[in-house]
Homo-oligomer: A and B are copies of this chain.
Amino acid sequence: MLIGELAERAGTSARTLRYYEEQGLVRPRRDAHGYRQYDDAELKVVHEIRSLLAVGFGLDDIKPFVACLRATGSGHVCPDSVAVLRRKLAEVDGYLAELTDVRRQLHHQLTQALEHRENPCL
């Protein structure tokens, strides 16, 4: 299939697919006219990329997942992917802790602000 079709089927843009290729995530063949030719397996790859992106991974982090998907063809996860998963999980946990703290601070500020409501500025 051509890039336009894949883009539509994957719910993204041709530009995006070219970018993924530039980043080494997708490797289409070329036909006689130099057009990119993708087979159906690439659709799964792109879906994988999109969902991982949505989860907060960067394209670099996604590479091992794609390599694994390409190697096994199934949903199995390779050691590299596991390492990235662990790292990302820890990262997300840290982020959660941080964000929870932020939330507490905001809540504190807000309640304090409402306490001092009898003293509005100006």
When all copies of this chain in the complex are counted, the total is: 2
Answer whether residue A56 sits at the interface, using C-beta atoms and an 8 A cutoff.
Answer: yes
- Could you tell me if A121 and B82 are in contact, using CB atoms closer than 8 angstroms? no
Chain B nearest Cβ from A30, distance in angstroms: 27
Question: B-facing mask of A69-108, CB < 8 A → 1, else 0?
Answer: 0011001111101100110110011011001101101110
Answer whether residue A112 sits at the interface, using C-beta atoms and an 8 A cutoff.
Answer: yes
Chain A residues with a Cβ under 8 A of chain B: 55-56, 68, 71-72, 75-79, 81-82, 85-86, 88-89, 92-93, 95-96, 99-100, 102-103, 105-107, 109-110, 112-114, 116, 119-122
Chain B nearest Cβ from A103, distance in angstroms: 5
